[in-house]
Amino acid sequence: MTTTDSVIRPPKHEINAAHYDNDCQDALAARLNELIEMAERAGWNRNRVASALMYLAAKRLNSGSR
């Protein structure tokens, strides 16, 4: 992976635009897949990894953490 590969691209749309959420998902998908694959290589179950990521995302959203 090169330095430019590790960068998440900025939004193409304004936050209130209809396609903003899809744009965000597209921007994050490759990095998320890499994280899941790294966890699997370490021995973690793919479904449990996905569950843990959802939990952590919700926890950070609810606590206002960055």
pLDDT at 5: 62
- How many structural domains compose the chain? 1
For the chain, 66 residues long, the average pLDDT of each consecutive 10-residue run is 69 94 95 96 98 96 74
pLDDT at 40: 98
pTM across the whole model = 0.75
What domain range is 30 assigned to?
4-63
pLDDT at 58: 95
> By C-alpha distance, which of 9, 5, 4 is closest to 26?
9
> By C-alpha distance, which of 33, 34, 23, 27 is closest to 8?
27
pLDDT at 35: 96
